[in-house]
Chains A and B, each alone.
Chain A
Amino acid sequence: MISSLLTRKTFSEAIQPLLLSTRTRWFWSGLIVGAVLALGFLIRQPAEPGLSRVEGFYTPNVQYGAWYLANHRTLFAPTDELPVLSNYTSGLNYGAVDYTYTFLTGSALILSNITDVERIGQVYLLSPWQGLLLIPLAVLAVYGRFARLFQTCVSPTHVALLYAFAALPNYPMVMWSSSGGFATPLGWALFYLIYIAVLSRSREPRHTWQWALLVMLGVLLIQPTYHTAALALTVILIAIWGIQRAFGKQYISWGIVRITILVFVTFLMYHAVTLFNDYGRFFLRFLSDIYRGNDQERLRYSLTGGNLDIWWYVVNYAAVLFPVAWLGLIVVRRRFRSEQDTAASVYQFIWLLALLPLVALLFAWDGVFGAYARTLQYGTLLALASAALLLVTRRGAVVPLALAALICVVSSVISMHTLDASSSNYLTTDERAALAWLGRQRGCDAVLFTDYRVGTAYGYEGCFAVAGPTAGPLSARGQIGVLPALFYDADRARLAQAIDTLVTTDRRRPDLILMSRRFLDPQIGIVLPDTRLKPMTEAQWTTYRDLPGWTLIFENDSTMVLARRQIGEHQ
């Protein structure tokens, strides 16, 4: 009896249908999604020992606002309440721009009674809902919209595949998420909401005001959250406008396009006024920013610090380039046969076209790094939407896409685990201890010189008097020679002189220096507000240690703090 249960016939008649029934296939799909989700949790955890849960660098955008709200029960001031003594602390004010993240996470922290900064960092790492839940949700919504547009069934295989694709770029994007924090994934999800709203007009014109309302809501949410995404959407909507005119077809209400563009432009003007120096940079410093490339060669520092090899770029771009190439083939080779084909493909094509001026703008803004980052961000969105369209329109696309997804997920997991890039912005426990000691022992009046990654985190001690170099302005003023003196030349006299050129906005020179062995780490190096330098030299570390006019006042395994010797004080 038992052996008869195991026959091939019994299996094909009784067990196979059970395993492949509609409901069971959705269960298998859920298993795959859950496994990929669990991998995402793994990648979010820094593998390196000795790291705290606190991030520096752009961290104020990510953790500081929510931490402040949780601890003070009120949002820190959007204007002028935090002392901006240098552009090392202006980031703390800039963090207030991300109201959505700050209010949402801060209120959740208050409700759950979490106020300690280390624990806040811990829940941030344990709650990857933005990248691993919100974005896949948005991609599945786009897929559902395509499925309805082409009147095909939603398939559990497609759902699992799209989840893997949507989560995949979010693994490497952890590095960007660390700097962009909540804003980037939310910006992406809103992109898709607007994309769905746009597509809906081609299929369901009856719910115009409802979709228009959602678009407006998305616009209002995206502006204070992620204004570069707002810039991108402006470019894309203007492109839709232009292409609709060129095609002589109306797939989206002119009202929606015009109102949305008007709102975007209004908000961009608001940002241009409030952040005039930033926006002015685009016009005033365009040439000097490009010229910085020569400085980088001469001074041996690079945008990435050389911590990312070709493998990392291949993995990142694979997810973008393949679907974009496929889309190119559609545009070049395929004749549009139906209205649905035209609507969907035209919007994908518009997205591709809109990417070009956007990347050009960001190149002017941030140089090669800006172009690279934005190509990755918006290209990923395009790639995900393209994969959804491909699955809906091409029956044979599942197998090659599944294979591609598998290869990409595995290679992403390996690359992120081996490179450990996600941990590069975190402070070590030694650095945290040094900052805490400084806050306790020296108060907040003394001006501290350190790098941007460590300096921004001084805000957690309530101290904002931090000064340090910024490559762009130094380059523009022809003072770029300060950087080698500070980090590479191992010349005591020049180093002491270079430190004295660093001043706060109220013209105070540094009284304290915090140096970390992390500055010598090839994966980390020195982080400035606008770039990442190559690692400091061992000789320079020794030079700091014996710097004339400065006394070593604190030291642990990997960090030292020096104080300026007062007049009459002996070594």
Chain B
Amino acid sequence: MIARIRPLIWPALITLAVLLAPLAPLPLNFWLALSAALLGPGLGVPRLLFPKRLLSLPETLLMTCIASMFLESAILAIVNVSGVLLSPIAIGAVILAPTYLLAIAAALRERFYAYPDAQVSTQADQPAWLPFCCGVALAVVVAGGVLRLLGV
């Protein structure tokens, strides 16, 4: 069941970030909006182009960020030139439309076409990113709190 809905989780989170951005307090609102812009439009690109498990997480994230920046800048530039004002609705659509389209395209590619060398070129070692991210979050909160208490 989880495996079935897994491809939907990230687009759903991006949608949530776009919807919550105007409601959250500063600077969380900006972070939510920026995260959606940075991760959304290019979300499906690594999965669309490369076999599963070929890329490491940093590689995947880097490609996602760069593809997102490219797609969003290009689409917003075209929208801007066409005379449409960049309202929150227009920007939400610019972020979410490629997010869904590329996620669907990636899912279809994985379903109907498997790269022949997918297993051979799998990353040699899979780092434990979940405990790593937990550590990062914990340290940021604790160190940030300490620095704030120190009045720095």
Contacts and interface: CB of A to CB of B under 8 A. Distances in A.
A515 interface: no
B26 interface: yes
Given A37-B140, A107-B72, A214-B49, A193 B63 contact: yes
Given A134-B65, A210-B50, A111 B22 contact: yes
Contact of B138 (A34, A41, A105, A220): A34
A214 B63 contact: yes
B144 A38 contact: yes
Interface string A24-59: 101111111111011101100000000000000000
A337 B139 CA distance: 42
A41 B32 CA distance: 18
Contact of A99 (B21, B29, B73, B125): B73
B21 A112 contact: yes
Contacts of A27: 128, 131-132, 134-135
Interface string B71-86: 0110011001000011
Interface stretch (A184-192, A259-267, A429-437): A184-192
Interface string A88-115: 0000000000011001111111111110
B77 A103 contact: yes
B1 to A, nearest CB: 25
Interface in B42-76: 49-50, 54, 56, 58-59, 61-63, 65-67, 69-70, 72-73, 76
Given A107-B72, A108-B37, A220-B70, A213 B49 contact: yes
Size category, B interface: 35 or more
B91 interface: yes
Size category, A interface: 35 or more
Interface in B107-136: 117, 121, 123-125, 127-129, 131-136
Interface of B: 18, 21-22, 24, 26-27, 29-34, 36-38, 49-50, 54, 56, 58-59, 61-63, 65-67, 69-70, 72-73, 76-77, 80, 85-88, 91-92, 94-95, 117, 121, 123-125, 127-129, 131-140, 142-144, 147, 152
Given A29-B135, A104-B37, A126-B27, 4 more contacts: A22-B128, A35-B139, A123-B26, A207-B54
16 contacts: A23-B131, A30-B131, A30-B135, A32-B135, A33-B135, A41-B147, A99-B73, A100-B69, A108-B33, A111-B22, A111-B37, A127-B27, A137-B61, A151-B124, A153-B125, A210-B49
